């Protein structure tokens, strides 16, 4: 969506706050022995406190409040009842609908003690997100976001998963424009003020850039067993630094 009224800005701001609060609560709850299903139930409690509900459940029939992907699962993971173990890498993707407005963000956390590889992977994903956000300014080309992300991931020696990308968001989960995490020369159209997009690098420790869908029909995983990291923010484009709604 493109924000054109104060009502829309207020609605998206509240949706972003619900995302941020949910991620804060779930990050604090990640520890050995807790199950992704318990984290999902906790997210539902946070949503209910704000009068929010799961946008993926409403739009796509997802059987979850939030997606939780562990280790080589990248995104859209269905929360399981397997207790988290020390060293697990956990991607949490939160997308509530709050009064008709939708914001989307993700974090990746590791269950302590954290391996050096997992720590570097998460650090690389977060750095790539920061670089992508810095390129997201009114008047700059859309493909500048992907160029920045791709450059940072490559510089840090990890593998980008180009089949997965960011997107417009606001009134629906996935709106135009698509926001690839790599440089596509054809995407030269300039970003404009008020545009709301989700920027979300997804990277792996593996060598293969391909992804596969697990038997549950939802979870996307690496094809070579590489650990995955997924980080994301919903932002509003301005002439300067973007407004990060989900910070």
**CA 107 remoteness from chain centre:** 7
The continuous run of DSSP H or E covering 100 comes out as none
C-beta neighbour count of 18 within 10 angstroms: 23
Contact 101, 170 (CB under 8 A): yes
Q: What per-residue confidence (pLDDT) applies to 183? A: 98
With left for phi above 0 and alpha for psi between -120 and 50, is residue 223 left, alpha or beta? alpha
% the chain with pLDDT above 70: 100
Mean pLDDT of 15-22: 98
Q: Is 31 annotated as a binding residue?
A: no
- The CA angle 41-167-141, to the nearest 5 degrees, is 150
Cβ neighbors of 214 (< 8 A, separation 6 or more) are: 73, 220, 221
Per-residue pLDDT of 209-244, as tens digits, reads 999 999 999 999 999 999 999 999 999 999 999 999
DSSP 40-65: HHHHHHHHHHTT-EEHHHHHH--SSS
The pLDDT mean for the chain works out to 98
Q: Which pLDDT band, with edges at 50, 70 and 90, does 46 fall under?
A: very high
> Residue written as tokens 């629906």?
172
Mean pLDDT of 151-155: 98
Q: Is 93 annotated as a binding residue?
A: yes
Q: What per-residue confidence (pLDDT) applies to 145? A: 98
Q: What per-residue confidence (pLDDT) applies to 158? A: 98
Q: What per-residue confidence (pLDDT) applies to 196? A: 99
Q: What per-residue confidence (pLDDT) applies to 234? A: 99
Q: What per-residue confidence (pLDDT) applies to 13? A: 98
Residue 239 CB-density burial (10 A; 0-12 exposed, 13-18 middle, 19+ buried): exposed
Q: What per-residue confidence (pLDDT) applies to 210? A: 98
Q: Is 233 annotated as a binding residue?
A: no
Q: What per-residue confidence (pLDDT) applies to 137? A: 98
The CATH architecture that domain 6-244 belongs to is Alpha-Beta Complex (3.90)
- Dihedral sign for Cα 71, 108, 203, 62, please: positive
- Parse the chain into domains and list their residue ranges: 6-244
100-116 in b/e burial notation, b at 16+ Cβ within 10 A? ebbbbbbbbbbbeebee
Q: How far apart are CA 209 and CA 222, in angstroms?
A: 8
Per-residue pLDDT of 48-99, as tens digits, reads 999 999 999 999 999 999 999 999 999 999 999 999 999 999 999 999 999 9
Per-residue pLDDT of 138-148, as tens digits, reads 999 999 999 99
């Amino acid at each position: 969506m493109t924000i054109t009224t104060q009502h829309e800005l207020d609605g998206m701001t509240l949706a972003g706050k619900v995302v941020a609060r949910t991620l804060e609560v779930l990050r604090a709850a990640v520890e050995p022995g807790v199950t992704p299903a318990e984290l999902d139930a906790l997210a539902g409690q946070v949503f209910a406190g704000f009068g929010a509900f799961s946008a993926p459940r409403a739009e796509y029939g997802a059987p979850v409040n939030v997606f939780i992907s562990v280790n080589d699962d990248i995104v859209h993971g269905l929360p399981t009842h397997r207790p988290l173990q020390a060293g697990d890498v956990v991607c949490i993707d939160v997308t509530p609908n709050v009064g008709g407005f939708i914001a989307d963000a993700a974090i990746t956390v590791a269950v302590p003690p954290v391996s050096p590889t997992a720590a570097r992977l998460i650090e690389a994903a977060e750095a790539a997100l920061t670089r992508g956000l810095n390129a997201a300014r009114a008047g700059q080309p859309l493909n500048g976001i992907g160029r920045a992300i791709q450059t940072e991931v490559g510089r840090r020696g990890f593998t980008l998963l180009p089949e997965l990308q960011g997107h417009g968001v606001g009134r629906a989960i996935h709106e135009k424009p698509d926001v690839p995490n790599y440089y596509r020369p054809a995407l030269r159209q300039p970003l404009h003020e008020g545009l709301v997009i989700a920027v979300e690098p997804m990277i792996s420790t593996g060598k293969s850039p391909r992804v596969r869908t697990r038997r549950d029909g939802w979870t996307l995983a690496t094809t070579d067993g590489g650990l995955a990291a997924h980080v994301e923010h919903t932002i509003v484009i301005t002439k300067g630094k973007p407004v990060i709604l989900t910070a």
